[in-house]
């Protein structure tokens, strides 16, 4: 049976592709993280840029000029990305690319500081932090960590080769390679753990969505149940009253259904109910909902539908039911229907009462009728 509730379950997770689900969780995690990382990075970059600016150091060395360039560049990238997250939140959540670009900018900044530290005091701290930081804060594909570390290693070799070529000895290069490899492996291990966590979260979300879907379905017919109808009905009426978007409702039940149970047994009666639901679904759009209200009584909600169109749908449903035999039942199975359109300011109870009155009018007119 096809899903007939697009306006309630607009984003069904039941059919969510596995890799797409993991990717969405990864992007969501990056978004939440960078909401805090970007402002902090921007603040630190601006403070350090001010402390090393010509205002406080009238005669800056080339190292201070290099530091200024690095810090202002990082600050500008952070400010741009912060504005991007602020004003284009939906766009930022649609792709992981912005986060990877900003992560690359952070890595290059760290490797830039590494060049400075190496050329001054041969300190490995900035380089080690640069190789490990991305794996700790950014959830990305494995190839991204490898590319960033390769770029960082090449940057380090070029920078040190220009500033301190005598330091490019096999021992030092071997140490840098080891540190770089440790950074890549650590990033990949952290990403693997993160993916396992995302996988668990995704399975939990899918399980919760499945349970929610099951709780809203009628066990026999597969139609939505009364609990679901009451929730959606309240929402539809509220939306119609607020935004003026009218909808229609069809209330129907099967004629002389008790006689079918008495004459042919409850198993045949169950088959009649299931067969009826299948027939009705064939006449509905994906935005319409079929709900089992109780026993042999059903309610159809027709979104953005006028009374005239709803009557046509009801007549098509009634005709299909009357002309389609059910195995085990010797006579045609018919139904009576009441059709109403929501009126401005009308409450759910009043609308349903009008439909119920019309349903009994159709029964009183000889059954197998549509009243509106």
Supply φ then ψ for residue 251, to 5 degrees. -110, 125
Spot the catalytic one: 296, 297, 308, 330. Answer: 296
Q: Residue 14 has what DSSP assignment?
A: T
- The CA distance from 97 to 77, in Å, is 15
Is residue 129 within 8 Å of residue 89, measured between CB atoms? Answer: no
- The CA distance from 324 to 130, in Å, is 72
Q: Which residues touch 35 (CB under 8 Å, ≥6 apart)?
A: 85
Is residue 62 within 8 Å of residue 69, measured between CB atoms? Answer: no
Q: Residue 351 has what DSSP assignment?
A: H
- The CA distance from 38 to 90, in Å, is 17
Is residue 271 among the annotated active site residues?
Answer: no
Supply φ then ψ for residue 253, to 5 degrees. -145, 165
Could you please report the per-residue DSSP string of 70-83?
HHHHHHHHHHHHHH
Is residue 224 within 8 Å of residue 288, measured between CB atoms? Answer: no
- The CA distance from 339 to 271, in Å, is 25
Q: Which two tokens stand for residue 150?
A: 């390769």
Dihedral of CA 88/94/100/106: which sign? Answer: positive
**C-alpha distance from residue 226 to each of 7, 88, 206, 217, 292 (Å):** 17, 40, 23, 9, 6
Question: Catalytic amino acids?
Answer: 296
């Amino acid at each position: 049976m096809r899903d007939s509730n697009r306006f309630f379950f607009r984003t069904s997770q039941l059919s969510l592709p596995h890799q797409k689900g993991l990717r969405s969780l990864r992007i969501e995690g990056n978004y939440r993280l960078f909401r805090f990382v970007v402002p902090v990075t921007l603040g630190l970059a601006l403070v350090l840029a001010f402390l090393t600016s010509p205002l406080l150091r009238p005669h800056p060395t080339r190292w201070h000029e290099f530091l200024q360039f690095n810090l202002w560049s990082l600050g500008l990238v952070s400010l741009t990305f912060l504005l991007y997250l602020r004003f284009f939140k939906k766009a930022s959540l649609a792709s992981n690319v912005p986060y990877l670009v900003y992560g690359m900018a952070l890595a290059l900044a760290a490797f830039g500081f590494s060049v400075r530290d190496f050329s001054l005091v041969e300190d490995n701290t900035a380089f080690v932090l640069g190789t490990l930081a991305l794996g700790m804060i950014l959830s990305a594909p494995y190839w991204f960590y490898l590319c960033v570390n390769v770029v960082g290693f090449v940057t380090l070799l070029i920078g040190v080769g220009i500033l301190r070529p005598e330091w490019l000895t096999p021992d030092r290069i071997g140490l840098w390679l080891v540190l770089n490899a440790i950074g890549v492996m650590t990033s990949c291990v952290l990403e693997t753990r993160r993916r396992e966590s995302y996988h668990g979260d995704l399975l939990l979300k899918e399980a919760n969505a499945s349970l929610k879907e099951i709780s809203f379905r009628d066990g026999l017919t597969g139609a939505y149940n009364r609990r679901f109808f009451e929730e959606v009905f309240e929402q539809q009426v509220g939306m119609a009253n607020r935004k003026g978007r009218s909808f229609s409702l069809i209330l129907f039940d099967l004629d002389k259904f008790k006689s079918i149970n008495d004459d042919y047994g409850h198993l045949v009666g169950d088959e009649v109910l299931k067969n009826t639901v299948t027939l009705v679904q064939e006449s509905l759009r994906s935005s319409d909902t079929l709900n089992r209200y109780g026993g042999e009584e059903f309610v159809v909600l027709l979104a953005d539908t006028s009374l005239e169109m709803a009557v046509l749908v009801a007549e098509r449903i009634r005709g299909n039911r009357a002309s389609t035999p059910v195995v085990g039942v010797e006579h045609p199975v018919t139904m009576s229907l009441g059709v109403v359109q929501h009126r401005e300011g009308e409450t759910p109870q009043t609308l349903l009462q009008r439909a119920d009155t019309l349903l009994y009018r159709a029964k009183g007119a000889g059954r197998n009728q549509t009243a509106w």
